[in-house]
Chain A
Amino acid sequence: MKTVYVDNNATTRVAPEVFEAMTPFLTELYGNPSSMYSFAGQVGRHLSDARQHVADLLNAAPEEIIFTSCGTESDSTAIRAAIESQPDKRHIMTSRVEHPAVKNLFEHLARQGWQVSYVPVDAKGRLDMDYFHDHLREDTALVSLMWANNETGVLFPVEEIAAELNARGVLFHTDAIQAVGKIPMDMQKVGVDMLALSGHKLHAPKGIGALYVRKGTKFAPFIIGGHQEHGRRGGTENVASIVGLGRACQLAGENLAEENQRVKALRDKLEQGLLEQVPLAAVNGDASRRLPNTTSIGFEYVEGEAILLMMDQYGICASSGSACTSGSLEPSHVLRAMGVPFTSAHGSIRFSLSIYNSEEEMDHIITHLPPIIARLREMSPYYQEARKSGAA
């Protein structure tokens, strides 16, 4: 059975070009870039090239890029550096819909005595800008807001937020892990101080990430050790993966137009196809301002895990905001923060596409998913009730 992979916000396949670029560093070119001989020295040049490619994708300078082991490490490094470099401040701010990489760290810091403001979102997942303005303080050390939401794809107005924070002299970190490579970014135009990205969300392997730190930003390393990354992140470089990330960023730059045209058109086709065929279904989040590859659709009166496992029978790989898939008992904090009603939060499915998806694959989903929803609804006591009462 063919696999129809539409879970690219979870992880992506490694691009063949990326794999090819990496292999020499897993075979013959195994030198440690810190060593003195030329056998190892040539490796260092490849690291510089990779750093340049990552910087280019963000329109940043190579010395502003620090390689890390993953997106979570990038987020942790940025947030901890910001508070460590401003010991006199007590307040930090984030949103209620962040990824656990940020959310759980903020909750941890709150337990340690930091005062935390969580900016709410509206029913469309849009940031409450009034709350954001009103809760900034003299002693705000850091604001951390995601660029794009991993579940809904909704984009936060990062440029506007950055402008205000720059004016007030408050550090701004953005978790851009879902956004990098999917939408254009320009660090010369958008005044973020730190930005986290992850390799495996843009067709590089797992286990590599990067942190952009604007020149002049006060910084303290999270992993302290050797002189690597100019003393900003100790540990021998993950050479093959860094080279892979560099290549992936190069490709992402080249594919941006395709992502925002062909991939977006596929996403729209899938979304419209499903909404036309399935009654009582709706898109979660602001459809007019979101990533080109993501759609989150709530199917009322059915449960997400059951949908996923039935789709699995047709080789379709997606994910769900339901409680049952994660082992937790409550539906996703993102959908709850948006006030998505329980009737559809439990049955919300996220489809996230990539340039490797095709039109046939969308047809495959549009063919097989509606009968699955219908079947589960036949089984659902709530759907029967709703139908009797005339709501369905």
Chain B
Amino acid sequence: MWDYTDKVKEHFLKPRNVGVIDDADGIGEVGSLACGDALTLYFKLDDQQRISEVKFQTFGCASAIASSSALTEMIKGKTLDEAKKITNDEIAEFLGGLPKEKMHCSVMGQEALEKAIAHCEGRPVHKEEGNVVCECFGVTDRQIEHVVRESRLKTIEDVTDYVKAGGGCGQCHDAIQEIIDQVLGKKPTPPKKEKQLTNIEKIQLIQETIEREIRPNLKKDGGNIELVDVDGSLVTVRLKGSCAGCQLSQVTLKDYVEKKLRELVTAELVVEEVAQ
């Protein structure tokens, strides 16, 4: 069960300002059914250009409803410039905090506000630009960059908690990591240059890799390995000890030995086993 604060529960069970404003000055829509939560925010300005009336509709969990309700309370009476300064962290703080995995609910509130203000001012929302990084939840690089900077996020998991990116199939994890590294000022590691090895160098490197990397690991499970021959890109080995005759030896050979050699020596190697 989620550890919601009393304030979250209170705003969930008695949400403020639920509804629609037909002649709203600003409307902001975020989220989708597929994503599991969505919010539409409406507001009206008074003569002094202050937000005088706010309404919302939310499809989502308790913290999504509570965040929306909190947001409406927070922006009432503010000018657009004042409202623009509200961050997702402030929405969460207003509620006495949100569980880490639910931070995206506060982000949804902040994004709806931004959209509603942009709508009111009659300009496009800059967040629409950028390229979609997370296909599952339709999150762009700009959105990820923004939230990493704003909330000082450090890991992919943080990004998933805040904007959902990376929470589906996981194929975008590398791209998210790159954005985090960029924002945090880390340089991406340059791709290793493939250099052409001579035959002697190749055999030496294979021998070294087996001794330094592979054998110690196999020995941990009571196994062993011996290099039999290198012919072009074909590496022949003999599995010994508990590896010999192990039902998973093919897996060890392909998924571990071959992978390691391809990674550390050269990518075109094929490893095969000679019979005992």
Contact = CB atoms under 8 A, between A and B. Distances in A.
Interface string B21-48: 0000000010001111111100000000
Nearest to B37: A303
Interface in A221-279: none
Nearest to A300: B33
B61 to A, nearest CB: 4
B251 interface: yes
A305 interface: yes
A381 interface: yes
- Category for how many chain A residues contact B: 20 to 34
Contacts, number: 88
B33 A346 contact: yes
A112 B246 CA distance: 13
Contacts of B137: 329
A324 B167 contact: no
B167 A381 contact: no
Contact of B254 (A113, A303, A330): A113
Contact of B36 (A84, A310, A324, A327): A324
Given A113-B250, A329-B168, A378-B18, A306 B36 contact: no
B178 interface: no
A342 B168 CA distance: 15
A306 B62 contact: yes
Contacts of A342: 33-34, 36
A356 interface: no
Contacts of A303: 36-37, 59-61, 64
Nearest to B31: A381
B61 A306 contact: yes
Interface residues of B, number: 38
A260 B60 CA distance: 36
Contacts of A382: 33, 38, 59
A324 B18 contact: no
B275 to A, nearest CB: 15
Listed residue (B33, B34, B39, B248) with the most chain A CB atoms within 10 angstroms of its CB: B33
Interface string A292-312: 000000000111111001100
Given A381-B29, A384-B20, A306 B65 contact: yes
Contacts of B12: 306, 309
Give the dominant DSSP class at B's interface: mixed
Contacts of B251: 112-113
B13 A343 contact: no
Interface string A316-343: 0000001111011111000000000011
A327 B40 contact: no
Contacts of B168: 329-330
Contacts of A346: 33, 36
B247 interface: yes
A381 B13 contact: no
Contact of B57 (A87, A325, A331, A380): A380
B164 interface: yes
B17 to A, nearest CB: 11
Contacts of B250: 113
B61 A322 contact: yes
Contact of A343 (B33, B40, B101): B33
A301 B33 CA distance: 8
A324 B63 CA distance: 10
A280 interface: no
Contacts of A379: 15, 18, 57-59, 65
Contacts of B248: 112-113
10 nearest A-B pairs in the assembled complex, by CB-CB distance? A87-B247, A329-B167, A113-B251, A324-B61, A305-B61, A381-B57, A380-B59, A381-B40, A342-B33, A342-B34
Interface of B: 2, 9, 12-13, 15, 18, 20, 29, 33-40, 57-62, 64-65, 101-102, 136-137, 160, 164, 167-168, 247-248, 250-251, 254-255
Interface of A: 83-84, 87, 112-113, 301-306, 309-310, 313, 322-325, 327-331, 342-343, 346, 378-384
28 contacts: A87-B247, A113-B250, A301-B59, A303-B59, A303-B60, A305-B2, A305-B61, A306-B12, A306-B60, A309-B12, A310-B13, A322-B36, A324-B37, A324-B60, A324-B102, A325-B61, A327-B101, A329-B35, A329-B136, A330-B167, A342-B34, A346-B33, A379-B15, A379-B18, A379-B58, A379-B59, A379-B65, A382-B59
